[in-house]
Structure 1
Amino acid sequence: MIVILKKNPEKQKVDQLVESFKKLGLAIHYSEGTQTTIVGLVGDTSRLDMDAICANEIVETVKRITEPYKAANRRFHPQDTIVEVKGRKIGEGNFTVIAGPCSVESEEQIICVAQEIKKSGAQFLRGGAFKPRTSPYAFQGLEADGLKLLLEAKKVTGLPIVTEIMSQTHIDLFADVDIIQVGARNMQNFQLLKELGHSDKPILLKRGLANTIEEFLMSAEYIMAGGNNNIILCERGIRTFETATRNTPDLTAIPLIKRYSHLPVIFDPSHATGIPWLVEPLSKAAIAIGADGLMIEVHNNPKEALCDGAQSLNFEQFDQVMETIKNRADVEQKTF
């Protein structure tokens, strides 16, 4: 349920109204915009008398929200959420590029990649320390040692780091990570999502391989229900009958999510297709339809990569794609 207040309500009366809702055991999401102030109510609102609430002198109107996701709902929070990380803003007109290898392989490799992507204009370094793989015999990542190498690359380049977590038991290891990524396979690992809800770290949540947009937003809701509102959503393609690409890029998800939710949305063209030459045109398309950023796989030697080399860009390709991205972002009046 959302309670829309009249313009410029008296603060004391707002506090009294909010306190009355809290006494009923309801969680409050307060959003004050330039034109509208909204009090979002989460919990059992079935016993609330809408007419009685409307009778309050500071209340404009009351509406029930039928969607199961509440905190992630744009009707709760009309203004776009901006996630700020180390002075860099993600969302609401700001454009962000996260780049790096699928997997951290060595100190030399990750520092080399970090230096090159920074030269091309990327603002964040991604790299997998813990790697969920379909085969139990495939390279699973360097784990804790990989995290240490990412932090070394951060020290050398100043780039904030993004890396994937696979278990709630690893949360303490991620204390110095700037953005914790929840991968597609863990999008519905609800115990992990609950634990991340108690974290103060920004969370990059990837859409599952075969999940609907509503299920995607409900996973974000799990994190937000714990108190962590710093969430970046990432569309990375879904599994369909099509085999021409690794996954099927669902670009329609970007404007749909931005209509339904206030959370920033980025796009991963590397995982969406698995084909390097498709990264550039899909990046242009994603920017044009409102994406707040991109996540792109880059490797110093894709042919020798231990993980996902076939879909990674080399440095020359990434530099070319970045020029296209900067030009397109400028056309769409996004701050790069």
Structure 2
Amino acid sequence: MNITQENKQWLNDFNLTHPLVIAGPCSAETEEQVLKIAHELKNSDVSIYRAGIWKPRTRPGGFEGVGAIGLKWLQKAKAETGLLMATEVANATHVKLALEHDIDVLWIGARTTVNPFAVQEIADALQNTDKIVLVKNPVNPDLALWLGGVERLYSAGIKKLGVIHRGFSTYEKTKYRNIPEWQIAIELQNKFPNLVLICDPS
């Protein structure tokens, strides 16, 4: 995998004088909520508005997202604010719907990154897309698995790539929801210095 300086161009295109900021609700719950938050963020340092449309839950029975109707809310938020829109995708159907609604940034979540079959399905659905695609670290601290996800997307002709370091799950009691394993993120950056690395503190 030969990730060149060109891969960083999508970030340079923002012409930022500060770090890239991505913000928004964990879940899109109502149209009113999505639009209200988007307008509140419009005049801040936020460049990309994120909202979960499909929510992968550890156990069934909880709120799993509003589904495709939420993509229309993101379309409306984009039209009204000019912010780029981002959401998580976990399978080819999600990808198809997100592309149909012109979502600008798609990210692969930590629970999906651990599954090479799911990542390959997403990569195939995104073949040669010009959208920005971000890969969160897997839930477990496995650099090879994280890199494997990036490699599958790169092999599918996706050039606007980035990774998200959110931290990792642990059985230990800790003050962090997800423990940051900086040495893993640093090793990834050392291997691929032209791969945009974003920190997710949520």
TM-score range, shorter chain: 0.7 to 0.9
Q: Which residue of 2 aligns with 1:209?
A: 139
1:267-278 to structure 2, matched below 5 A, reads 267-270=199-202
Q: Which residue of 2 aligns with 1:146?
A: 70
Query: How far has the Cα of 1:159 moved from its partner?
Result: 0.4
Provide closer, same or farther for how the CA distance between residues 258 and 86 of structure 1 changes in structure 2, counting only shifts above 3 A.
closer
Query: Which segments of 5 or more consecutive residues in structure 2 lack a partner in the other structure?
Result: none
Query: How far has the Cα of 1:83 moved from its partner?
Result: 4.3
**Which secondary structure does the structure 2 equivalent of 1:224 belong to?**
helix
Amino acid at match of 1:210: N
Query: How far has the Cα of 1:169 moved from its partner?
Result: 2.2
Query: How far has the Cα of 1:156 moved from its partner?
Result: 1.2
Q: Which residue of 1 aligns with 2:28?
A: 104
Query: Which segments of 5 or more consecutive residues in structure 1 lack a partner in the other structure?
Result: 1-69, 271-336
Provide closer, same or farther for how the CA distance between residues 197 and 223 of structure 1 changes in structure 2, counting only shifts above 3 A.
farther
Q: Distance in 1 between matches of 2:181 and 2:81?
A: 33
**Which secondary structure does the structure 2 equivalent of 1:112 belong to?**
helix
Residue 162 (1) aligns with residue 92 (2): no
Give the TM-score of the pair, scaled to structure 1: 0.54
Please tell me whether Structure 1 or Structure 2 has the larger radius of gyration of its CA atoms: 1
| Contact 2:96–2:125 under 8 Å retained in 1 | no
| Contact 1:100–1:126 under 8 Å retained in 2 | yes
Query: How far has the Cα of 1:182 moved from its partner?
Result: 0.8
| Contact 2:141–2:184 under 8 Å retained in 1 | no
Amino acid at match of 1:255: I
Residue 246 (1) aligns with residue 177 (2): yes
| Contact 1:82–1:89 under 8 Å retained in 2 | no
Q: Which residue of 2 aligns with 1:264?
A: 196
Residue 178 (1) aligns with residue 104 (2): yes
State the number of aligned residues: 194
Q: Distance in 2 between matches of 1:194 and 1:211?
A: 25
| Contact 2:137–2:164 under 8 Å retained in 1 | yes
Amino acid at match of 1:108: E
Q: Which residue of 2 aligns with 1:88?
A: 14
Q: Which residue of 2 aligns with 1:56?
A: none
Query: How far has the Cα of 1:89 moved from its partner?
Result: 5.7
Provide closer, same or farther for how the CA distance between residues 126 and 248 of structure 1 changes in structure 2, counting only shifts above 3 A.
same
**Which secondary structure does the structure 2 equivalent of 1:96 belong to?**
coil
**Which secondary structure does the structure 2 equivalent of 1:228 belong to?**
coil
Amino acid at match of 1:168: A
**Which secondary structure does the structure 2 equivalent of 1:84 belong to?**
helix
Provide closer, same or farther for how the CA distance between residues 117 and 253 of structure 1 changes in structure 2, counting only shifts above 3 A.
farther
- 4+ residue segments displaced more than 3 Å: none
The counterpart of 1:115, out of the listed 28, 39, 49, is 39
Query: How far has the Cα of 1:127 moved from its partner?
Result: 0.2
Supply the RMSD in Å over aligned alpha carbons.
2.2
Provide closer, same or farther for how the CA distance between residues 148 and 85 of structure 1 changes in structure 2, counting only shifts above 3 A.
farther
Provide closer, same or farther for how the CA distance between residues 80 and 257 of structure 1 changes in structure 2, counting only shifts above 3 A.
farther
**Which secondary structure does the structure 2 equivalent of 1:129 belong to?**
coil
Q: Distance in 1 between matches of 2:129 and 2:141?
A: 25
Q: Distance in 2 between matches of 1:136 and 1:86?
A: 41
**Which secondary structure does the structure 2 equivalent of 1:266 belong to?**
strand
Q: Distance in 1 between matches of 2:121 and 2:97?
A: 17
**Which secondary structure does the structure 2 equivalent of 1:240 belong to?**
coil
